[in-house]
Amino acid sequence: MAKSTRNCVRLTVILYVYAAAVTATVLPSDQIYDTSKYGILQLGNGLAQTPQMGWNSWNFFRCGIHETVIRETADALVTTGLAKLGYVYVNIDDCWSELVRNSEGDMVPDSKAFPSGIKALADYVHSKGLKIGIYSDAGLYTCQVRPGSLKHENDDATLFASWGIDYLKYDNCFNLGIDPKERYPLMRDALNATGRTIFYSLCEWGLDDPALWASKIGNSWRTTKDIKDTWESMTAIADINDKWAAYAGPGGWNDPDMLEVGNGGMTNQEYRSHFSIWALMKAPLIIGCDVRNMTAETYEILTNEEVISVNQDPLGVQGRKVYTYGPDGCYQIWAGPLSGERTVFVLWNRCSEAATITAKWDTMGLESSTNASHEYVSLCSTNSFSAKVEAHASEMFVLALAAAAASAA
């Protein structure tokens, strides 16, 4: 990155503020960023050192999936460059199997939708340098009433491993009222026993507060109900996931559900906010649209390398909502620490009209005497930063200490 004579560099969506004379000290973490549960993750399969990235069939295709869609999606992830950015999991959701198990008690791929079988499909996905995921349920049936894995954990895990599966999304329907803390470890143990390293994604919907216990069981855990492609659903889910920020870290992540970016229910401004907040929260970045037919705007959002780098930052501390003000608290500052003595913050305007939003350094855990200025903000301040943000939009920034800025220049 070239050094700017103005000591600041404007990027797409993200602004890196490189102040020439920045002094900043981080306040005690329990004041702003409670990471008291950071580092307790004990699954130990070596996966999820950063949040998982990839694609899932459900949000767009629902049950209308078949092997051609999966193959073409794998192709598209490669040809669009999404794979190089980290979107490597190609995850098949519900409806991939026949309605009943075969005479040996095994799950069977739907013969019409997947006539070549899952093993052949996995081989194709792997040939593209990608990984493949599949779906099952910690109940008797899946949510679309296909066979679940309750009481079949060992057989199903062995079958998935034999197919070359890399990722399991494990749902929560038809669970017979059995405590999830009893059901979900059974599949963890079964997956580990196969000898194949398989990413384990718990989809318990946040009903029994999985952030409190799932770090010993899975690589990610759903903290919320299913997302819908609406502004109301997305913002509500972000707020719920924020509650559990202290429990995320390398090895296991809070999961507020898959991305709706590109599915048409929100504006592009709202989708940018969706993507930015998910990135800051260290949420899994699992694309939910048809990547074979993306608009230019959708592609621009999903391929923003600076935003992705925030999500994949090796420090692995989940950013959170640190300050709200204005009508019904709709002017919001979300922030979190990054590696290299940096801080990321998002000014999020959840009001229906454009507004100037101000982030004060102390609300983000910083004490500073910095003069930060930028060409599109007429501001020189020793303790805050302001920017105009359109309705339902967000602006993401990274503040670096002087030493970090100099090394990055």
Catalytic residue among 171, 242, 290, 313: 171
If DSSP codes are grouped into helix, strand and coil, which group holds residue 26? strand
Band (pLDDT 50/70/90 cuts) for residue 34 is confident
Q: What is the mean pLDDT of residues 356-363?
A: 91
pLDDT averaged over every residue in the chain:
88
Catalytic residue among 208, 226, 239, 362: 226
What does the DSSP assignment read for 54-103?
A: EEESHHHHTT---HHHHHHHHHHHHHTSTGGGT--EEE--SS-B-SS--T
Q: Specify the pLDDT at position 10.
A: 29
Q: Specify the pLDDT at position 368.
A: 54
Phi, psi torsion values for 160, nearest 5 degrees: -60, -45
Band (pLDDT 50/70/90 cuts) for residue 362 is confident
- Active site includes 189? no
- Active site includes 171? yes
Q: Please check whether residue 216 is in contact with residue 71, taking contact to mean a CB–CB distance below 8 angstroms.
A: no
Determine the Cα–Cα distance for residues 148 and 172; give it in Å rounded to an integer. Answer: 9
Q: What is the mean pLDDT of residues 92-97?
A: 98
If DSSP codes are grouped into helix, strand and coil, which group holds residue 201? strand
Phi, psi torsion values for 300, nearest 5 degrees: -60, -40
Q: Specify the pLDDT at position 40.
A: 53
If DSSP codes are grouped into helix, strand and coil, which group holds residue 197? coil
Q: Specify the pLDDT at position 289.
A: 98
Q: What is the mean pLDDT of residues 298-307?
A: 98
Lowest mean pLDDT among 70-79, 105-114, 332-341: 332-341
385 against 51, higher pLDDT: 51
pLDDT of 91 strictly over 90: yes
Determine the Cα–Cα distance for residues 204 and 192; give it in Å rounded to an integer. Answer: 20
Determine the Cα–Cα distance for residues 352 and 355; give it in Å rounded to an integer. Answer: 9
- Which of 226, 223, 136, 229 minimizes the C-alpha distance to 184? 136
- Identity at 377, one-letter amino acid code: V
Calculate the CA dihedral of residues 253, 42, 196, 133 and round it to 10 degrees.
-10
Here the tokens at position 19 are 């102040």
Burial readout 185-211 (b: 16 or more C-beta within 10 A, e: otherwise):
bbbbebbbebebebbbbbbbbbeeebb
pLDDT of 270 strictly over 60: yes
